[in-house]
A and B are shown apart, each in its own frame.
With several copies, the nearest count.
Chain A
Amino acid sequence: MTTRPIDRNDLAALYAECAAALDDGEYERWPAFFTEDCSYVVTTKENLERGWPIALLSCESRGMLLDRVFAVQKTLFYVPRVQRRLVGGARLVGAGDDGAHARASFAVFETLVGEHTTLFAAGRSLDVVRYEGDALKFAKRTCVLDSSLVPNSLPFPI
């Protein structure tokens, strides 16, 4: 893999663009922020700390991301809503064979049709990023929710 150093602006842009694609409902743009052999996981602090392998959502390939997007857009039933993500504290914390290791904190706000905006979740992400050509991508992304308790349901990725 490339040892090209990660430009902080690229990292910030990756987080911002990925969040915006989901917030703006442009789910079809989301898989392209990941490498082909990516892993994408949403789990809880509880599962992580207990060493339990179950995740709320666990994709082992970009194909699974595409299937998730298909479900979100075509098969899942959910009450109409919009989410809004704020990502903070993005930073590089090391590097491994798989790419550069990054961390960030996030809060997700949710608005159901006709309702107030509410806090949906907060947590942190443990990420591995690397360049594919000029584009920085997630090779691995693990979103860890602080709460064990999901408010109603989680139809979308974090």
Chain B
Amino acid sequence: MTHKLNVPNLSAAAWPEEGLTRVPYFLYDDPAVYALEQERIFRGRSWNYVALAAEVPAAGDFARSYVGDTPVIVARDKDGDVQVFVNRCPHRGAQLCQSWSGNAKAFTCPYHQWTFDLKGRLRGVPLRKGVNGLGGMPADFDPARHGLQRLAVTVRGGVVFASFADDVPGFAEYLGPSNLAYFDRVFDGRGLRVLGKQRQRISANWKHVIENIRDPYHATLLHTFFVTFRLWRADQDYAMKLDATGGNAVQFIQKVDRGPTEATRETTSRHADVRLADPRVVEAVPEFADGKSGAMQTIWPNLIVQQTLNSLATRHAVPHGPGEFELHWTFFGYEDDPPEMVERRLRHANLYGPAGLVSADDSEVLNVVQLGATKGPAGRAVVELGGAGTADAEGMVNETMIRGFYKHYRQIMGI
């Protein structure tokens, strides 16, 4: 009960004794847990997605993003390297960059026009030597010690990750071999083309959306549109692969064309003979060599990579206080996409995002889970589908990836 009074005991003892088959609900609304997540997870030894490199293609291009809830600037410097800085002026703390994106030769703070180059180095302090011998910075002021706070950066396949930690493992090691292979499947070295953004602020803790993606069970039950139009079925081939930590996981699906089975009967829609008036919204062509029609990946801590039909997107879950998060969708294709493929990607986007014929279900249900889990007496989720383990698994009726996520979470949070 103590955690209801906002004094969670963040020792391992606070976790239900059943272990990973239970997740305590105070993780979703406790401000102290939230603050600790920012320190240990997002500002700890993690690779945090911040942008696609294609959003800042040229020198001086910049875009705002977040590492956890810390605002950062992603910029391309003159050497062609991507830099990530905390969006805070080292003088008196003003947010350096207000625009969401743009091109700049340097970053100039609005307050006193201190100027930083694209590597974050302090290059200009107006009137640094004072005026007429009066004022100005002390003689020992060393600009080299007052640059922007730079994060470690890694770019792979056109995707930019940043870390507050200096000792985070290399990205390949971080992801583990099976997850790296799936990451490289989508980000295969071809140039990426940004198709646009969708952003939503959802009244739920950020972990709910990671659980949601790691939960194939809900897909045939919640997403009536999928089932009604036979795009998804409970007995399709489905596999999940986790890295050793549990922090990264990928799942992939193969469209099958079989008759009804017992499993489909359990999840059949009431609208069995309905047809789309304009079916182009779901007409896809195979595009990956492995023939898999879809793969969803979650990368620790808060990135989702979506490949479904011909829709490709990163989804960045940005925490915004314990009870809210923002989901920033970046839809993309490849530079060499033919026009009809671009058209298809745009059309399939009708299924995703805040207005998605499928994803709107998720946005709404996340809200509903947050409300249910955090209002009322202390409680905990039951996560037993597929047992108690966190191993790779097959089939959609399995919560192994959720358990895997919390295995890593407990490790990092010390709970």
Q: Indicate whether A and B are direct neighbours in the complex (CB within 8 Å).
A: yes
A152/B278 in contact, CB under 8 A: no
A71/B357 in contact, CB under 8 A: yes
Please pick, from A52, A67, A151, A152, the residue contacting B276 in the complex, using a CB distance under 8 A: A67
B368 adjacent to chain A (CB < 8 Å)? yes
CB distance from A154 to the nearest CB of B (A): 4
Contact with B along A58-102 (1 / 0, CB 8 A): 111111101110110011111110000000000000000000000
Q: A46-B100, A56-B198, A64-B281 are in contact. Are A77 and B365 (CB under 8 A)?
A: yes
Secondary structure of the B contact surface, majority rule: mixed
B137 adjacent to chain A (CB < 8 Å)? no
Residue of A nearest to B365 (CB): A77
Question: A-B contact count, CB below 8 Å?
Answer: 141
A149/B365 in contact, CB under 8 A: no
Interface segment among B13-21, B119-127, B200-208, B388-396: the answer is B200-208
For the complex, give the distance between the alpha carbons of A9 and B399 in Å. Answer: 58
For the complex, give the distance between the alpha carbons of A42 and B198 in Å. Answer: 11
For the complex, give the distance between the alpha carbons of A85 and B275 in Å. Answer: 31
Residue of A nearest to B346 (CB): A53
A116/B201 in contact, CB under 8 A: yes
A1 adjacent to chain B (CB < 8 Å)? no
A155/B367 in contact, CB under 8 A: no
Q: Which residues of A contact B64 (CB under 8 A)?
A: 114
Residue of A nearest to B313 (CB): A54
Q: A60-B347, A76-B357, A152-B354 are in contact. Are A54 and B197 (CB under 8 A)?
A: yes
Chain B 373-402 interface residues, beta-carbon cutoff 8 Å to A: none
Contact with B along A32-57 (1 / 0, CB 8 A): 00000000001010110010111111
B residues neighboring A (CB under 8 Å): 64, 98-101, 110, 194-203, 222, 224-225, 228, 269, 271, 274, 276-278, 280-281, 326, 331, 342, 346-347, 349-350, 353-355, 357, 359-361, 363-365, 367-368
Instruction: List 26 A–B pairs whose Cβ atoms lie within 8 Å, in order of A's numbering.
Output: A44-B197, A53-B196, A53-B346, A54-B196, A56-B198, A56-B354, A57-B350, A63-B278, A66-B277, A67-B277, A75-B224, A75-B228, A75-B269, A77-B222, A79-B98, A148-B100, A149-B199, A149-B200, A150-B198, A150-B199, A150-B354, A152-B201, A152-B363, A153-B202, A153-B363, A154-B355
